[in-house]
Structure 1
Amino acid sequence: MHKLTVLYPEPTDRAEFEAYYRGTHLPLCAKLPGVQDITFSIGITDPGEAPYFAIFQATFANEAALGAAMASPEGKTVEADVANYATGGAIVLTFPVESITL
């Protein structure tokens, strides 16, 4: 598995961020080819308490699947859309995931 994680610093307006993110950006993310799972959290801390306001994670089968998704027209749309709501910026991380059976 391979993860795409996006960390969002505090935006200019929390309510605007959340409305746009839920109504526009997440539906675009759901159209990424090969995405297996999407999780996110908004408002993870109170203003000024931590460096991040929200987090997003998407799971793909492997690094190649993630690369293909982001290179696709849908991926380019997702990337271009970030500037429409992430007034605090966005930090993108990608990495392979290991798991253990419990």
Structure 2
Amino acid sequence: MSNNIRYLEFPLEVKYFFRNKKLNPYITGGLSYFKYENSHSENSISLEYGDNVSLNFGLRLEHKLIDRLYINIESNFSYQIEPVTTTIDYTPYIFSISTGIDYRF
């Protein structure tokens, strides 16, 4: 039993940093719009996914490597405001941890 869901996320977030030195902690928050594309369900319940909006909150830590190059790690919590499907009434949440490299122009 599995579900495959493809979606595009369009976030609108604000970021607040505590200091502007070599190691920067940030708090992020905002909204995201989820546009669901193709969904496929391999179980007996046919699920129809509708577009959704979520509330986002995150913590980020950024370290400056050289002049415009930064490495970061971020945790994010997203809470879906409305149910994802019209057939089952539940509101999921997403917790993620990501890392990356930023180059600023």
Structure in which a larger fraction of residues adopt helix: 1
- TM-score scaled by length of structure 2: 0.28
- Considering only CA atoms, is the larger Rg found in Structure 1 or Structure 2? 2
When normalised by structure 1's length, the TM-score is 0.29
- Tell me which protein shows more strand as a share of its residues: 2
Q: Which has the higher contact order (CA 8 A, sep 6+)?
A: 1
